[in-house]
Each structure stands twice: as C-alpha cells, then as structure tokens.
C-alpha cells in the first residue's frame, strides 16, 4: 500500500491548522472576558506549558510509534492487553461529536461573511437582534450554510492527506496569519490598545474562581487539539528522523501566539469602538459587528476579512476532527476514502441539523434536556468528559503502559535533560490535572 505522507513543513502547518480554530478566535476572547482577564490568561498559559506541551509530545509519540489509525496504534503498543486498550482509540469519536456543533458555527460564520458584504448592524441592540433572529428563528439559513460547511469539509477530506488536508492548510493558514497580523498592526495604533494589554495581562487574582481555573485548564486542551487522536493520526505519517519536540514547540507557539494576538486585537476594537470586553459566545457575533460599524468604511472591510479568517481557522480544524475516524475505517475495514469521507460527513451533517433545531423556537422544547439544549450538551460532553478522558488515557498509556526503555529510545535524545521532568509530568501532573477538570465540570468537585 502506498503511504501518503505530509511533507516536513506540511505536518507542522496541518497540526497548527488543527490547533488554531474557533477555540482561539471565537472562544478564547469571550471566556477571557467572562473570567475577568489577566489572571485567567495566566492560568491558561501555565497550563499550556506544564500540561499541554508534555501531552502533545506524548500523543505525537504514540502516532510516531504506532503508525496506524488510533485504535490499531493502541493495540500495537500494548500487545498484552490490546482488547482493553483499543478502546482508548475510540476517543476519536469525540472529533465527530465536536463536528456536530462546529460545523453549525462555521455555517454562522459563512452567513456573517455574506451579511458583512452588505450591511453591518448599527447598534449593539440591533446586532443582538440579528444574531438572535438567526439563532432562534432562521432554520433555513443555518441549514444552508451548515450544509455548505459539510460539502467543503467532505470534499477536502476525500482528496486525502496530501492533496486535501495539507494543500488546504498550505493556502488557508498563511492567509489567516496575514489577515490577523494586518488587523493586529492596525489595532496597535489605536489608543485603546494599552487598555486591551492591561486587561489581558494584569492579573486580578480575586477574579479567579475554581470554575475559571477549570475552564482555563480545559481550554488549554481544546485549543491545542489534544485528547482525541488528531495529533496521533497526523503523526502516524511522520518521517523516521522527525523531531517531535521541535514540531510540538512550533504548534504550541503558533497556537498561543494567535490566541493572544486575536484577543488583544478584539479587545482593542471593543474598547475603542464598542462597550469594552464582552462576555459570552456573542462576542464576535454581536459585540464585534457593531464595533466594526462604528469604525466606518474600514470597519466594513475588516468585518469581511475577520469572518473569512475565522472561517479558515474553523475549516482547517474541522478536517483534523474528522480524519482520525476516516483513517480508522480505511485502515481497519478497507473502506475507500470516498466512502469513509462521505459517511463521516453525513454523520455530523445529520446530527448538526438537530443541533440547529435545538436552538429554534418551536422545536427547541423537544431537544432540551435539563438546562441544556442538544447543541450545548454536545459541546459539554465532548469538552468536559471526552477530551480530558482522552488526555488522561494518553498520559497514562505513555507514562505507564509503553515500556520506559522504548519511550526513552526515541525521546531521550530529543528532550535531553528535560526527559525526566517530562516523564514525571506525564505520569503525575497531567493525570491529576485531567481528573480535577473532569470531576469539577461534571459537578462533583
């Protein structure tokens, strides 16, 4: 069988494309706003360095040693207990579940690209009405753009690792960076830039509740794209002499830098033209459009490019969320790529329809359980349970199940003195952090 591989740089770009997503540009700014800025950002940064970095190396190592789909890699690396450990590989299902709402949100972004071309809402109130009308009453628009996202993502996945995933990332990621850099440079010239810096980097520890703490830890995981086999699947095609530490460094660097740049830029615009740091998921869909309106003509241009950048970020992450399950069906059941791509695509497209309906007046009553709609449940179950569980499994698997000598034979020369601290963090720090996140998000702590 011919193995298609990423090029050396292609791997870093694709893994960065996976990491940089709606999490960085949509979610990070609004949860930073919600939890009061500086202290929250600091907890997030420390978690990325202490837990995220070491777990990403571990997940990359599993792909590098396993060389197969996630289920087979677990089996191959734990031959004695493969019937138990193979279930670790089914974490990849989390990616398909995430896509159920991720694709709907990409649909909203497509819709906003088009509406930014014609008109922006003049006041925050109007912006709120526009968003809420779409969310609660306009099924057709959401369905149309959700379907567009499904078609785009499935088309790229069907083209394969190199001419699909790598190629799309190769064009979209530089475009995304150029757009954000341009808008960021403009933001630095505005008076409110220093306010944004102060908001993001002056820690006010009184604002850190245990909930803020846990959200920061969970987000560090989500934003790096860890815990469900994306990195494991991508790294199954690494060259023999690949340097896992360097790869991880670049992915973590870009992911963090883009989150900070996007946050500083959005907060500057909101201080300068809007009503200051906004909270909640409406930040980029409600507060931002009216701030762009205040900015005048340039704001119109910015709005279009901003939503294009956001769509690019979402699309490059989407393919990484679906690819692990596609590889699973191709490797284990000899499905064609076409069959696997379309089946996985139809899965998230179909359930995505219910995610849309679960916000629509008249239908949502049937799709809400407890205090959460179907849309919110999918988000919650994946982020609160599946991803931390996946991270926990990966850390324990590399820390305790794969023989230390095998781990050492690859990692010692790359990590040098940092090998023991890394190994310690995998065995003890990451599992404890993940347990705390899960327990408190499901309400036990």
Least distance between ligand TRP and beta carbon 149 (Å): 14
What is the Cα–Cα distance from 172 to 174, expressed in whole angstroms?
6
- Minimum CB distance to ligand TRP smaller for 18 or for 287: 18
Tokens of 213: 């703490």
On the 0-12 / 13-18 / 19+ scale of CB atoms within 10 A, 83 is exposed
CB of 408 to ligand TRP, least distance (A): 27
Of 19-27, 68-76, 114-122, 349-357: span binding ligand TRP (CB under 6 A): 19-27
Which one among 19, 41, 61, 264 touches ligand TRP, defined by CB under 6 A?
19
Residue 3 DSSP label: P
**Binding positions for ligand TRP, 39-58, rule CB under 6 A:** none
Q: Which of 18, 47, 54, 116 binds ligand TRP (CB under 6 A)?
A: 18
* Residue 45 vs residues 267, 401, 425: alpha-carbon distances, Å: 18, 29, 16
| Cα–Cα distances in angstroms (integers) from residue 76 to residues 79, 218, 402, in the given order | 6, 29, 10
- Helices 387-396 & 53-66 angle (0-180, nearest 10): 70
Q: Pick the closer one to ligand TRP by CB: 18 or 55.
A: 18
Phi/psi at 408 (5° precision): -60, -40
- Please name which of 75, 403, 98 lies closest in space to residue 225, comparing C-alpha atoms: 98
Q: Could you tell me the smallest distance in angstroms from the CB atom of residue 233 to ligand TRP?
A: 10
Site string for ligand TRP, 379-418 (x = CB under 6 A): --------x-------------------------------
Query: Which is closer to ligand TRP, CB of 192 or CB of 387?
Result: 387
Tell me if 287 sits within 8 A of 277, measured CB to CB.
Answer: no
Q: Which range of residues in 50-58, 314-322, 343-351, 356-364 is near ligand TRP by CB under 6 A?
A: 314-322
Binding map of ligand TRP across residues 218-257, x = CB under 6 A, - = no contact: ----xx-xxxx-x---------------------------
21 binds ligand TRP (CB under 6 A): yes
Which residues contact residue 39 at a Cβ distance below 8 angstroms, ignoring those fewer than 6 apart?
203, 204, 205, 207, 208, 212
Applying CB under 6 A, the residues found at the interface with ligand TRP are 18-19, 21-24, 95, 222-223, 225-228, 230, 317, 320-321, 387
């Amino acid at each position: 069988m011919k193995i298609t591989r990423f090029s050396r740089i292609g791997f870093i770009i694709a893994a960065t494309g996976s990491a940089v997503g709606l999490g960085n540009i949509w979610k990070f700014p609004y949860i930073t706003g919600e939890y009061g800025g500086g202290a929250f950002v600091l907890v997030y940064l420390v978690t990325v360095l202490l837990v995220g970095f070491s777990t990403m190396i571990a997940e990359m190592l599993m792909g590098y040693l396993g060389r197969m789909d996630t289920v087979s890699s677990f089996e191959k690396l734990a031959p004695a207990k493969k019937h138990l450990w193979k279930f670790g590989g089914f974490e990849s299902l989390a990616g398909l579940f995430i896509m159920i709402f991720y694709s709907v949100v990409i649909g909203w972004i497509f819709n906003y690209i088009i509406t930014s071309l014609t008109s922006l809402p003049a006041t925050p109130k109007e912006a709120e009405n526009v968003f809420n009308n779409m969310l609660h009453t306009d099924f057709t628009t959401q369905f149309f753009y959700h379907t567009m996202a499904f078609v785009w993502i499935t088309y790229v996945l069907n083209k394969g690792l190199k001419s699909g995933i790598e190629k799309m990332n190769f064009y979209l990621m530089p475009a995304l960076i150029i757009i954000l850099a341009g808008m960021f440079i403009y933001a630095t010239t505005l008076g409110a830039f220093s306010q944004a810096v102060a908001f993001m980097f002056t820690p006010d520890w009184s604002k850190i509740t245990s909930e803020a703490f846990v959200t920061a830890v969970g987000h560090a995981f989500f934003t790096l794209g860890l815990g469900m086999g994306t990195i494991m699947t991508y790294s199954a095609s690494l060259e023999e002499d690949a340097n896992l530490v360097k790869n991880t460094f670049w992915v973590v660097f870009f992911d963090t830098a883009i989150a900070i740049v996007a946050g500083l830029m959005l907060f500057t615009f909101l201080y300068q033209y809007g009503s200051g740091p906004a909270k909640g998921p409406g930040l980029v869909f409600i507060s931002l459009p009216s701030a762009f309106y205040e900015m005048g003509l340039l704001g119109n241009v910015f709005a279009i490019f901003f939503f294009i950048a956001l769509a690019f970020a979402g699309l490059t992450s989407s393919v990484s969320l679906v690819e692990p399950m596609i590889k699973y069906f191709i490797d284990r059941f000899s499905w064609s790529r076409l069959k696997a791509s379309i089946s996985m695509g139809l899965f998230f497209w179909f359930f995505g329809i219910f995610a849309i309906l679960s916000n629509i007046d008249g239908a949502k009553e049937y799709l809400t359980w407890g205090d959460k709609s179907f849309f919110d449940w999918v988000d919650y179950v994946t982020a609160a349970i599946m991803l931390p569980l996946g991270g926990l499994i990966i850390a324990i698997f590399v820390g305790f199940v794969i023989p230390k000598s095998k781990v050492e034979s690859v990692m010692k020369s790359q990590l040098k003195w940092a090998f023991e601290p890394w190994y310690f963090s995998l065995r003890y720090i990451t599992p404890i952090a993940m347990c705390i996140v899960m327990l408190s998000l499901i309400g036990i702590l």
